[in-house]
Structure formats: structure tokens, C-alpha cells
Amino acid sequence: MPMSVAAIIVAAGSSSRLGQPKQLVLIDGEPLLHRAIRFAQEAGASPVFVVLGAHRERIESAIDFGAAAIVINADWEEGVASSIRAGVKAVQAEAPTAEGVLLLTCDQPRVSAEHLGRLIQMSYAQSAPTAIASAYGGIRGIPAIFPRQALHDLLALRGDKGARALLAHPPWPVISIPLDGGEIDIDRPEDLALPG
């Protein structure tokens, strides 16, 4: 039976610095969140969970989620860790046989379905629990795949700290795959003017 990797798209933030929901910002006519869902599915992740919080009703009415499952994070104001926890709990409940979790956001415009596919294929090639991270700007970061054994570490995250710290000092091996421009994200209005 082939391995399966579930995806958690963390999209619950308020985008306060941007002044509008970044989930709905268009790149090539496609909302960032829809793009992230499509890329995760095209790369072979299944099931795909989308964690929503701020602007939830507006986002739900504007995005076609298709087969992706919506996870509501009522504690989104705590920070990104609460969304990661909500997504991991959904994976544990709905995809108990998933052997890994692809964690990503929707605001990294240089991420592609091809890059996510490379992460997934590398995870399939491992015989022992291994994280597969994106490498950019001198760090290891997301998108990243965490082995099932790492779920309890993700559930222990608190506050506005994401998974990057786990990748910096991991209790399991990490393989890095370069992501050109991965450090670019859309946080402020001036970021919308970035060339593609």
C-alpha cells in the first residue's frame, strides 16, 4: 500500500500588516489560498486540511475548497501554533494512517506544485522517520513534511512560534530541498508589487 502524506494549510491569520485577507490576494488571477490547495493536491497530498480563523466567512464564501476539508481554529489569535495544533488534531482524527504531514502556508509565492511534489517523493524514499524541509535564506523552513512521529512535537508548539524551531533542532533527521525565493512571503502591501 502506498504511503500517504496529509497536508495542513495554515491560513487562519488576520493579515493585519497587509490590510486585507492575504488568503484572497490574487496571483495570476487565482487567490493565494486556492493556489495552495491546488498545489498540495497536484503534488499528491491527501487529504488536504485548511485551517481558517480570521475572516473565515469571507474566505469560505470566496474560495472553492473542492475536496479540501476546512478546520476552524477558534484560538487563531494565539498565533500560528494554535493553527498547527488544530490541523494536526484533524489529521489524527480524519487521516490516522497518514505517515507524514505536509505543513504549508498560502503566502509564499515561489512555492510550486513541483516543489511540493519533490518534498513528498523524498519523504516516500525514506526508510526511517525523517523530516523533509525547504531550504532558503540560510534556514530550513516550510513547506516541510513532518513524519508521523513528529505530531506530538507539533502539538506542543505554543504562541506565535511556527514549526521552524523544530526544523532547527529536530529530534529526527532532516533532509533539505532548496526552494529558490522561499524567504519571500506576502505580509505587507509593498510585497504585492514583487515580481513573480
Q: Among candidates 139, 64, 142, 68, which has minimal Cα distance to 110? A: 142
Q: What H or E segment, with its residue span, contains residue 89?
A: helix 80-94
Give how many domains the chain has, as a whole number. 1
C-alpha cell read off for 85: 495544533
Residues 6 or more apart in contact with residue 99 via CB below 8 angstroms: 3, 4, 5, 123, 147, 148
Q: Which whole-number Å values give the CA distances from 95 to 3, 151, 189, in the listed order?
A: 12, 13, 37
**CATH code for the domain in which residue 149 is found:** 3.90.550.10
Backbone angles phi, psi at 18, to 5 degrees: -85, -30
Prediction pTM value:
0.94
Digit-coded pLDDT (tens) for 71-111:
999 999 999 999 999 999 999 999 999 999 999 999 999 99
Residue-range definition of the domain harbouring residue 43: 5-193
Q: Which residue has the cell 523524498?
A: 122
**What is the dihedral angle through the alpha carbons of 24, 76, 136, 194, rounded to the nearest 10 degrees?**
30
Instruction: Produce one character per residue of 101-115: b if its CB has 16 or more CB atoms within 10 Å, e if not.
Output: bbbbbbbbbbbbbeb
Q: What is the pLDDT, as a whole number, of residue 189?
A: 67
59 contacts 99 by C-beta, under 8 angstroms: no
Digit-coded pLDDT (tens) for 7-56:
999 999 988 777 788 899 888 899 999 999 999 999 999 999 999 999 99
Digit-coded pLDDT (tens) for 129-179:
999 999 999 999 999 999 999 999 999 999 888 898 899 888 889 999 999
Number of neighbouring beta carbons within 10 Å of residue 191: 16
